[in-house]
Structure 1
Amino acid sequence: MTDHAPAGTQAVGRALSVLKLLGSATGELSGAEIANAVGLSSGTANRIIRALVAEDFIARNPRTDCYYLGSGTVLLGQAAQRGFGIDKMLPLLEQLNAETGESVNLSIRDGDESVVMLRVQSTLPLRFEQRTGARFPLHTTASGKAILAFTPRWEDYVAALPPRLQKLTPHTLETPQELEQAIAAVRKRGYSIDEQENVDGVRSVGAPILDSAGNAQAALVVQVPAVRMPKGRVRELGERAVQIAAEAAWFVPVNRTTSR
Structure 2
Amino acid sequence: MTEAPPTGTQAVGRALSVLRLLSESGAEQSISEVAEKLGLSSGTANRIMRALAAERLVARNPQTESYFLGSGAVLLGQAAQRGFGLDKMLPILKRLNEETEESVNLSIRESHESVVMLRVQSTLPLRFEQHTGARFPLYTTASGKAILAFSPNASDYLGSLPTRLEKVTPHSLETRTDLEQVIQETRERGFSIDEQENVDGVRSVGAPVLDAFGNAQAAIVIQVPAVRMPISRVSELGQRIMTAAREASNFVPLDRPLAP
Give me the TM-score of the superposition, normalised by structure 2. 0.93
CA drift of 1:257 comes to: 3.2
Task: Specify the alignment match of 2:244 in structure 1.
Answer: 244
SS in 1 for 2:220: strand
Gaps of 5+ in 2: 1-6
Amino acid at match of 1:221: V
Task: Specify the alignment match of 1:83 in structure 2.
Answer: 83
2:115 is the counterpart of 1:115: yes
Amino acid at match of 2:192: S
SS in 2 for 1:198: coil
Which shifted more, 62-71 or 118-127? 118-127
Which shifted more, 49-58 or 159-168? 159-168
Task: Specify the alignment match of 1:4 in structure 2.
Answer: none
Gaps of 5+ in 1: 1-6
Amino acid at match of 2:168: L
SS in 1 for 2:105: strand
Aligned residues: 254
Looking at structure 2, the residues matched to 77 and 166 of structure 1 have their Cα atoms a distance apart, in angstroms, of 33
2:193 is the counterpart of 1:193: yes
Task: Specify the alignment match of 1:3 in structure 2.
Answer: none
Distance 1:211 1:96, change over 3 A: same
CA contact (8 A) 2:114 2:144 kept: yes
Distance 1:59 1:243, change over 3 A: same
SS in 2 for 1:193: strand
Matches within 5 A, 1:71-150: 71-150=71-150
Amino acid at match of 2:117: M
Amino acid at match of 1:13: G
CA drift of 1:236 comes to: 1.0
Matches within 5 A, 1:28-43: 28-43=28-43
Amino acid at match of 2:198: N
CA contact (8 A) 2:217 2:259 kept: no
Task: Specify the alignment match of 1:24 in structure 2.
Answer: 24
CA drift of 1:163 comes to: 3.6
CA drift of 1:258 comes to: 4.4
CA drift of 1:176 comes to: 2.2
Task: Specify the alignment match of 2:181 in structure 1.
Answer: 181
